[in-house]
Chain A
Amino acid sequence: MYPRWLWRVFALPGVLWLLLLFVVPFYAVVGVAFGRVDPIFQNPIPVWNPFHWNTAQVLETLARFVPGHAYWVVFLRTTEYVALSVVICLFIGYPVAYYISRHARRSKTILLVLLVLPFWVSYLMRMLAWIDLLAPDGYVNRFLMWSHIYPHPPNWLSGNPGSVILALVYGYIPYMILPLLAALDRIDQRLLEASRDLGASPMQTFFRVTLPLSKTGVLGGSVIIALPMFGDYYTPAIISGSPRTSMIGNQIFLYFHGGPQPAVGATLTLVLSLFLGVLMAYYMYSVAKTQRLAQ
């Protein structure tokens, strides 16, 4: 009923936009990473032709990712923070999503509203909230001293890895709960009833039916929060601001805005994207699969 060219024309502006401002820019990172550095002014000269690429810079950067070298510590720390935060998010998020999808009845709508609420509060605002709470004379410390749980509380806001992980969990957990909720909501209730009718205990039903069926949600949610966490630099900068808790993103930021060495920064960005490419590929594959199932 519509002319065949119509949809292609509709898609054209968007596709062009993404090509010019997403694909080309990424190639600019590649060009700078494989480019040369002006010997006098120290500014990068990007090389666009792959046949003329200068691989020395990339190899040198990669060599520093081996244990015992500069980036290894930062990379390891980043991975630790991200892994810990994802696991904590899962342990908090799963019960919440499970309760809302399975047991909440009359309160389901209000719970959903409250669950989406953090999405409408800026991430930086939510970090600011913890700055206020964790300040030396803030509510957290005053509670700890008043209750004698911790009479001499540490300085939470300077080089404290615990605070950074708390902030990461607080910042990203809403993005974890929603895919979990979607996956748990999709489970056919009859399968659970069948499991119970066949004599499985609630525990067995959970571990052998519910959990395996929610696997896509668990993996999807973990990936969707792990990706931005790997690129995060503002959370550690705000909450700790110390090189002892700096993540790979802080390192990249430093090369561009601290001591200007954009070529090294671009190389690090490239390494980070390749590393995350595996996670991204997995996520996009699973999205494509669920879309095929939905159609």
Chain B
Amino acid sequence: MKAQPLSPAPGAAAGLLRRLLQRRSGPVRKPRVLALVTWAYIAWSIVPVLIAIQFSFNAGRSVSVWQGFSLTRWYWGDPVNSVWHDPALQHALIQSLKLAGLDMLVATPIGVLLALGLARWRGYGARPANFLMLFPLVTPEIVMGVSLYLVFQYVFTFIHPSTAAQVLGQVTFSISYVVVVVRGRLFSIGRDYEEAAADLGATPWETLRLVLFPLLLPAVLASLMIVFAISIDDFVITQWLSCGAGCDTIPIKIYSATRAAPLPSINALAAIMVYCSLAAVVLAFVCYKLLTRSESSADSTQAAISSVGAFDL
């Protein structure tokens, strides 16, 4: 039902004008300007990255002037400066993947258990613990970086800046993301299945193992994926706990390269990171869809996207 204007029209021309205006402003109009803004934004957010990836295929040594196409030069073709042949770049790639793997292995189990605990633990200590979990999500990374740097220097002096320190730091802020993802899933599955299992005679352990954990599996997968992505993306904490060249990760290499004269091999290195992340996202998305296909609702795709994107913060 369209809104009808209350005042009578002063004339036919005005009436026509009003009808035209009304058509333009009716509830079903096509908001062309908004659509344009949206697509322009999307293009602006993605095209620069595509251009940076394009330069990883540059045949010349510039990262800002296109000098022809070379598929392999900066990945492995160049015998000195390519990612494959430059030991520093190769090491950064390995270090990044190593940290991401360790972070996934440590943060995900701790986070899943913490999410279960926080969602269901009633009584003394539950509220402060919930509160504590939110802090790493909102604390600026530099504050966490400085804190961890100082704590390893003055309190836990047996931990030196090293790969181990970097893992400890990354896990500390990864746990909260896992909690957010897993807790969202916990709320959406509810407690009916577990109560049914208990009514049918399952012991608590069987309920956990045969009902709750399988139902949580999609969220666990999404968490693994998210931890991988935030670990590989992390710059601040990794830099503050770095032991020097041996601990450099891809983001740290990009950071130091941009302050000197960068070669396209840095673009290649960054592009490899993008390929890895995208492959991991696609994998996680497909797994999520497969695992939840029996509970498909109208917007299950959007639920999967939001779960993989972890944005119900």
Does B80 make an interface contact (CB < 8 A)?
Answer: no
A217 to B169, CA, bound (A): 30
A22 to B136, CA, bound (A): 8
Name B113's contact: one of A11, A19, A227, A276 (CB within 8 Å): A11
A285 to B313, CA, bound (A): 13
Does B158 make an interface contact (CB < 8 A)?
Answer: no
A201: which B residues are within 8 A, CB to CB?
Answer: 25
Contact with B along A205-246 (1 / 0, CB 8 A): 000000000000000000010011011111001100100000
B149 to chain A: closest residue by CB: A256
A28 to B127, CA, bound (A): 24
Contact B255 A109 (CB under 8 A): no
A249 to B38, CA, bound (A): 32
Contact B175 A18 (CB under 8 A): yes
Contact B51 A133 (CB under 8 A): yes
Contact B267 A121 (CB under 8 A): no
B168: which A residues are within 8 A, CB to CB?
Answer: 21
Q: Given contacts A1-B195, A14-B117, is CB(A287)–CB(B313) below 8 Å?
A: yes
Does B105 make an interface contact (CB < 8 A)?
Answer: no
Contact A7 B38 (CB under 8 A): no
Q: Given contacts A1-B194, A123-B235, A238-B258, is CB(A22)–CB(B172) below 8 Å?
A: yes
Contact A114 B25 (CB under 8 A): no
Q: Given contacts A17-B110, A125-B273, A284-B138, is CB(A231)–CB(B266) below 8 Å?
A: no
Contact A238 B155 (CB under 8 A): no
A100: which B residues are within 8 A, CB to CB?
Answer: 38
A234: which B residues are within 8 A, CB to CB?
Answer: 235-236, 255
Tell me whether chain B's interface is mostly helix, strand or loop, or mixed.
Answer: helix
Contact B147 A199 (CB under 8 A): no
B31: which A residues are within 8 A, CB to CB?
Answer: 99, 103
A158 to B51, CA, bound (A): 22
Does B288 make an interface contact (CB < 8 A)?
Answer: no
A170: which B residues are within 8 A, CB to CB?
Answer: 44-45, 48
Rounded to whole Å, the gap between the CB of B135 and the closest CB of chain A is 6
Q: Which of B148-165 contact A (CB under 8 A)?
A: 148-151, 153-155
Contact with B along A130-158 (1 / 0, CB 8 A): 11110111110000000000000000000
Q: Which of B254-268 contact A (CB under 8 A)?
A: 254-255, 258-259, 262, 266-267
Chain A residues with a Cβ closer than 8 Å to the other chain, count: 107
Contact A121 B277 (CB under 8 A): yes
Contact A118 B273 (CB under 8 A): no
Contact B313 A138 (CB under 8 A): no
Contact A230 B140 (CB under 8 A): yes
Rounded to whole Å, the gap between the CB of A31 and the closest CB of chain B is 7
Q: Given contacts A14-B113, A238-B255, A252-B142, is CB(A113)–CB(B55) below 8 Å?
A: no
Does A159 make an interface contact (CB < 8 A)?
Answer: no
Contact A120 B258 (CB under 8 A): no
Does B207 make an interface contact (CB < 8 A)?
Answer: yes
Contact B142 A233 (CB under 8 A): yes
Contact with B along A1-14 (1 / 0, CB 8 A): 11100111111111
Additional pairs, 15, CB under 8 Å, beyond known A7-B121, A111-B42, A249-B142: A3-B204, A22-B147, A25-B155, A31-B154, A108-B302, A111-B38, A124-B250, A127-B258, A128-B262, A131-B258, A132-B51, A197-B3, A231-B140, A283-B138, A287-B134
Query: Could you name 11 residue pairs across A and B whose Cβ atoms are closer than 8 Å?
Result: A24-B155, A25-B150, A99-B31, A99-B34, A124-B250, A125-B273, A131-B63, A170-B44, A197-B1, A201-B25, A269-B142
Which residues of A are interface residues toward B (Cβ below 8 A)?
1-3, 6-15, 17-19, 21-26, 28-29, 31-32, 46, 92, 95-96, 98-100, 103-104, 108-109, 111-133, 135-139, 170, 173-174, 178-179, 182, 193, 196-202, 224, 227-228, 230-234, 237-238, 241, 249, 252-253, 256, 262, 265-266, 269, 272-273, 276, 280, 283-284, 287, 294-295
